[in-house]
Structure 1
Amino acid sequence: MLASVVVALTVIAGLVMPTFANAMRHDPVATPLTTLELPLPSLSADQTSAADQATAGLAGAGMLPGGAADDWKIVRVRAGQSLADIFHELGLSPTDLQRVVDAKVDNGAFRRIHPGDEFAFKSAEGRLTALRFDRDDKTRVVLAVDNKEVRSEIVERELERRVHVAHGTITSSLFEAGDSAGMTDAMTLKLAQAFGYDIDFAQDLREGDSFTVIYNDVYREGERLRDGDIIAATFINAGKRFTAFRYESADGTVSFYSEDGRPLRTSFLRTPVEFTRISSRFTSGRMHPILGKMRAHRGVDYAAPSGTPIYAAGDGKVLFRGVQNGYGNVVILQHGGRYSTLYGHMSRFGNVKQGQHVNQGQLIGYVGMTGLASGPHLHYEFRLDGQHRDPLTVTLPKPEPLPGTELATFRSLTTPLLARLKLYEGTRLAKAQ
């Protein structure tokens, strides 16, 4: 009986409570709205014409609803895909493709397409009527196709570079600090490359090191297109301050320079290969692992997997490319009159020939273990006036600074940037304190 009474009371409460709750709720009083018809100022004849032209242009570019761009079919090229494959997937005939190619309008853009490239198509009843693509970041080519001919129009697209200032402090890694500063990994890598001649980011980086960088991003029509360039930067490593300024010299060469106008690009790379460890150092006597007797080791051995690229340590001429006893496959470079470098035990050569000029950082071969070698590594020698020097400790020649007239131009451009970097560094230091 008690259970029946409880159930009955519960049912009654369920019926009554919603009604009670609604009774306590007050509907908001609707606020009356008044609509007024206000006369608009009339446009002059010139203003009316300009407005009509702007509207027509936007519609033709597909910027307005119902405009022509509603009919564009956007295709992003996939790896291994050709333009013929794209035409086939869209149901367009090989005849249309041939007409576009025969028109010889930016023909190279059709024959050398790359993954990620974009093409846009318009068609009617299975027949191509228009095609567009970007020749470069700021130039778009639009082709109109009809029964008689293929017409082309070049559309210039304005690019905008937006400048940013970022500051980072190393806690775990350079890329983590760059990410915390709002930089992309690609921009952080550019920062590392700018200072790569002065700082070994694999071994010299310390917790508490910091950087301040001025860089830009490239925008097109209000949308971010890609990373731009490092404009100026400072890096404090182990208490030592380094500067880098991007500058285009009179001959069109773009490089990074210190604030005194000296190129950061040194005459020689300290290490011409990405190595895992130093397996043997420069010494006047060591036990040879193959011959089993003491002999001098006049270079440094950098252990690395077979096939690891080897790069020219500096600008020079290929003095020798071939096989020598002990060295196996070897390349010897002559750098001016006093310096030469040797690269031994290569598995194979790069695309270089004897007598050819090579640039610093150019691929010249691959790590191997030809000749007298117990494992894959690069044997690297550095010679000054024919005498062997320890590549790890030799004092490398400093590059010459910019000449007088160009140095003045450089300083006029970089002085405001240097002041901005110092101001930002000072502000950050004050906040930290």
Structure 2
Amino acid sequence: MAEEKQGARHGRKLAICRKAQRRHSHFYERCSHWSFNRSGEIEPIRWHREHFVLAATALLITLLSGFIMPAWASAMRPAPAAEVHSLLPLALPKMAPISATAAVDDWQVVRVRPGQTLSDIFNARGLGMADLQKVMDAAGSAKSALHNIRPGQEFDFLIGSDGSLNGFRFDQDQASRAIVRFDGAQPTVSFQQRDMDLREQVAHGVIRSSLYAAGDQAGMDAAMVGKLADLFKYDVDFVQDLRLGDSFTVIYNDIYRDGMRYGEGDILAAEFINQGKRYTAYRFKKADGDYGWFSEDGRPIQKSFLRIPVDFTRISSTFSVARLHPILGRMRAHKGVDYAAPSGTPIHAAGDGVIKYHGWEHGYGNFVVIQHNNTISTAYGHMSRFVKGQHVGEHVRQGEVIGYVGMTGLATGPHLHYEFRVNGAQRNPQTVTLPQPQPLPTAQLARFKAQVVKPQLARLTELDVRIKLARTSAPTNNDN
């Protein structure tokens, strides 16, 4: 019975399908090839208008979803809270008012050339003597700095648009500058302190050709090399005694002004090795407030006597007990040393003393004798002329000029005949033992050794060790 009912239902379904096929036969004819269950060989896919319609519809739906979904998500997001900004007061430093005068100042710097005078410099700027006199009158006590100018010195001019002098600046001394202004109702003068600074330098040199060449290679300028030579001139004859391989080490100051190097300062400590012998010098402030240079044992570097009292070119005749006189033509003693030098070269007193003789002496020409103490005197002959104002009985200081080289008396050329006398008897000035100056007093000597010699000697020794190590570690070229 159940099987009959199931068969009846199946029959009805088939009848309904046949009826639908007959009614929609035109659709089934066009779409019958869409079936996935068709038997037989599968034909290649062919795109028809229906295919394109369906693909375009799917693509449109996909694009719409891409735009609509993010917009919907943004619309659903809560609105962000507005940021709150607040202004805080900030205290700024007050600006100093800018001077209108300083903003337009155009100082013209002029450097003095050799041979120029102050009036030459003013004339070169289109100014006259009346302008120079105005500066002198307005400068007051500072005008003394304008009396003697030197090459390299700087002067600053402030010139107006009409060519008139509105200002003038110059160094009153090393550490201050005077400023004279004429652009107000009355001339004014003001003073500006310069920023002075001492910078310590250390140099070491070895003599290969000359002292100045060694100093230049060590980074020292000519003026500082001159100071070094002047310091040791009492012990070393830099014309005759210098040898290749001699060396020096020096600690000194350079002066800087307003951040720029202004010039050389003083030597603080120095060591000079000449022919294996060591000489030292240390700068020390004495009890009287003056500075001096002393050896390690506290004796002044400045000896009681100059070994050579003139800058000479050569020794034309040495000390001798028997010499053929160039003019007299016979053998006689030459009890001095002749230092040949150009006529007019200054002659200096070998030491402090009193003039004992001043005038003409047969054979010696213009002649001066200085008595230094009870036993020692020095004599100077063949001078071309004396220094005006000096006379017998006048006290002279070591290094003071007492006359000028000439060839008066029995002389064949310009030179200084120099004698060193002990108890009236002439001694060889080149070999005589000069008296040693007295050392510092006991209390000062102790302070000198503790405060100066000990620290500076340690620095000099350390530098010498570093130099020796640098030499030993330096690579050498071996010739094979």
Q: How do 1:120-199 residues align onto structure 2 when only pairs under 5 Å count?
A: 120-124=156-160, 125-146=162-183, 148-199=185-236
Alignment correspondent of 1:115: 151
Distance 1:277 1:155, change over 3 A: closer
Alignment correspondent of 1:365: 403
Contact 2:195 2:259 survives alignment (8 Å)? no
Alignment correspondent of 2:391: 353
1:277-299 deviation per Cα after TM superposition (whole angstroms, max 9, x unaligned): 33333333333333333333222
1:103-134 deviation per Cα after TM superposition (whole angstroms, max 9, x unaligned): 24222234443333322222333333222211
Q: How do 1:44-123 residues align onto structure 2 when only pairs under 5 Å count?
A: 44=91, 48-49=93-94, 52-53=95-96, 56=98, 67-69=103-105, 71-92=106-127, 95-105=130-140, 106-123=142-159
Distance 1:299 1:42, change over 3 A: farther
Q: How do 1:3-402 residues align onto structure 2 when only pairs under 5 Å count?
A: 44=91, 48-49=93-94, 52-53=95-96, 56=98, 67-69=103-105, 71-92=106-127, 95-105=130-140, 106-124=142-160, 125-146=162-183, 148-351=185-388, 352-402=390-440
Counterpart amino acid of residue 191 in structure 2: I
Alignment correspondent of 1:421: 460
Please give the TM-score of this superposition, normalised by the length of structure 2.
0.73
Distance 1:171 1:77, change over 3 A: closer
Measure the CA separation in 2 of the matches of 1:205 and 1:248. 30
Measure the CA separation in 1 of the matches of 2:212 and 2:115. 32
1:42-72 deviation per Cα after TM superposition (whole angstroms, max 9, x unaligned): 8646xx13xx23x848x87x6xxxx344x11
Measure the CA separation in 2 of the matches of 1:293 and 1:260. 49
Equivalent pairs: percent with the same residue?
54
Contact 1:247 1:256 survives alignment (8 Å)? yes
Distance 1:146 1:262, change over 3 A: same
Measure the CA separation in 1 of the matches of 2:421 and 2:293. 27
1:79-106 deviation per Cα after TM superposition (whole angstroms, max 9, x unaligned): 4544444444434465544433222422
Counterpart amino acid of residue 416 in structure 2: L
Runs (5+) with no aligned partner, structure 1: 1-40
Structure having the higher strand fraction is: 1
**Secondary structure of the equivalent of 2:262?**
strand
1:430 aligns with 2:435: no
**1:421: Cα distance to partner?**
0.7
**1:389: Cα distance to partner?**
1.6
Measure the CA separation in 1 of the matches of 2:223 and 2:291. 19
Measure the CA separation in 2 of the matches of 1:371 and 1:110. 44
Contact 1:218 1:226 survives alignment (8 Å)? yes
Larger Rg over CA atoms: 2
Distance 1:240 1:324, change over 3 A: same
Q: How many residues align?
A: 381
1:190-227 deviation per Cα after TM superposition (whole angstroms, max 9, x unaligned): 11211111112222222222211111111112111112
Contact 1:93 1:127 survives alignment (8 Å)? no
**1:269: Cα distance to partner?**
1.3
Deviates more, 1:287-296 or 1:377-386: 287-296
Please give the TM-score of this superposition, normalised by the length of structure 1.
0.81
**Secondary structure of the equivalent of 1:103?**
helix
User: RMSD in angstroms over aligned alpha carbons?
Assistant: 2.4
Contact 2:406 2:414 survives alignment (8 Å)? yes
Contact 2:138 2:189 survives alignment (8 Å)? no
Distance 1:132 1:174, change over 3 A: same
Measure the CA separation in 1 of the matches of 2:404 and 2:118. 35
Distance 1:392 1:85, change over 3 A: closer
**1:261: Cα distance to partner?**
0.9
Measure the CA separation in 2 of the matches of 1:276 and 1:113. 31
Q: Which runs of 4+ in 1 moved over 6 A?
A: none
Counterpart amino acid of residue 72 in structure 1: W
Measure the CA separation in 1 of the matches of 2:385 and 2:152. 33
Contact 1:273 1:309 survives alignment (8 Å)? yes
